[in-house]
Structures are given as C-alpha cells and as structure tokens.
Amino acid sequence: MAALIEVSNLKKDYPMGSAGVFNALKGIDLKVEKGEFVAIMGASGSGKSTLLHLLGCLDTPTSGSYLLEGTPVHTLSSDQLAELRNKKIGFIFQSFYLLPRANALENVELPLIYAKIPPSERRRKAMDVISFLQLENHAHHLPNQLSGGQRQQIAIARALVNKPSLIMADEPTGNLDSLTSQRIMELLKKLNEMGNTLILVTHEADIAAYAKRLIKIKDGRIISDELMKKN
C-alpha cells in the first residue's frame, strides 16, 4: 500500500535579489504512512516551516516530487492545490486564525462552505464536531468570548470537519499556557489514536514528545528520523 505522503529530493529556493538564492530545503526525502503522528523539530531558519508549507500544499517546491495519496502535488496549479487543501488537509495554527465576527459554529463551517456543502448539512456536520469536542455550549460565542484553549479547540474542530486525510499542526500550543497546552496535546494524541494522521511542527521537546515519530531538521536537511520511545 502506498504511503500517505511520499516526498523525494524536495528542494525550495527563495531568490534574495543581489544576495543570490537562499536554499531553504536542500533535498528532502520523506514517507509518512496513514495513522502516523510525526513531530518535526528544528531551530528558527532550519526549514521546518518551509517543509510544512510544502506538505500542506500552501507553497510549491522548486524541484523534487511530492505525492499525497498518490496525487502528484508538485504538478498541480494553484487552483488545484487550493481544492486539494480543502478536501485532504486540515490546518491548526498557533494564532488560531478564527474570523472575529463569526461565531464558533460559523468558523467551523468555513471549509464546508468552500466545499459547497448545502447550509443545513454543513451546520449539522459542524455541530457534530463541536459536540465531539464538548463545546456545544460555546457554539454561538464569538472568538473574543472564548478562552485561548477554547479558541484552539474550535480551530481543531474546523480542521476536522471535512474529515481530511492529513492534519497539519504548526506550533499549535505556542500561544497557550502550559496546562492548556497539555490539554490540547492530549486531544491531538486522542485524535491520532482514533486513526487521524498528524504532522506537528514545534521547537519544544515536551510538545514533540506526544508524537510517535520525531524528525529533526537543520539547515534545510533532515538530520535524524526516529521512532519515539514510550513509557
């Protein structure tokens, strides 16, 4: 069976004007199977965010190949990438990115609107996910009426509502206190145990420890890739 993600010699260069070209990724080879929970760690400027953007179809590589469930992502147009993102990938960001004038339910519905799901069906699907996260009492609250942890849980609900093949989490606890961070990571761990594939980008070892596999990246290259030892 083919891997969920299959990346070969992936490179990403950024023109720097008179300074030449910055090689952000220098030939990444990577496979991720369905159901894995992978943490990617690296210092600022290591290339981890660039890799996440490429794996999340938010950007395109300079060269190399990327297959997502057998689809050659590196050959797709910007419109095709947008469609693939909406259907296959759920995103969780450090800054939540909730619409401030939309309530929690409306924020969770957004991917379903892009997918052109009828209003009654998308409201039902959004409420199902919100209820799963036990946030139904907050469904009609605006983001500024929610705590940081609740906002991130609504962002997680939004990531789940389309039942994506892959969930990408970019520093998901970066704006949260330690106790709330622990709760969010326990939730992500539970989602993985239910069969969701997760890729987490972080610079914090205690957050990466929730994953089953740890990839370390430095200067645009993978320097280690190992299974995590669990007690």
State yes or no: pLDDT of 82 exceeds 80: yes
Q: Which pLDDT band holds residue 26 (cuts at 50, 70, 90)?
A: very high
Mean pLDDT of the 153-175 span: 93
SS3 (DSSP) at 60: coil
Q: If you average pLDDT over residues 95-123, what whole number do you get?
A: 94
Residue 175 has pLDDT above 90, yes or no: no
Q: What domains appear along the chain, each with residue ranges and CATH number?
A: 35-61+75-227 (3.40.50.300)
- Banded pLDDT at 231 (limits 50, 70, 90): low
Give helix then strand counts, H and E, for the chain. 7, 10
Cα distances (angstroms) measured from residue 42 to each of 12, 21, 91, 198, 218 = 17, 21, 20, 17, 6
Burial 105-117, CB ≥16 within 10 A → b, else e: bbbbbbbbeeeeb
Instruction: Assign residue 157 a region (left: φ > 0; alpha: ψ between -120 and 50; beta: otherwise).
Output: alpha
- When pLDDT is averaged across residues 81-96 and rounded to a whole number, the result is 91
In the chain, the percentage of residues whose pLDDT exceeds 70 is: 98
CB neighbours of 58 closer than 8 A, spacing ≥ 6? 52, 85
pLDDT tens digits for range 35-49: 999 999 998 889 998
N-term to C-term CA, the chain? 30
Residue 39: strand pairing partners: 200, 214
Residue of 181, 190, 196, 96 whose CA lies nearest to 134: 190
CA atoms of 96 and 108, how far apart (whole Å): 12
Averaged over 175-202, what is the pLDDT? 93
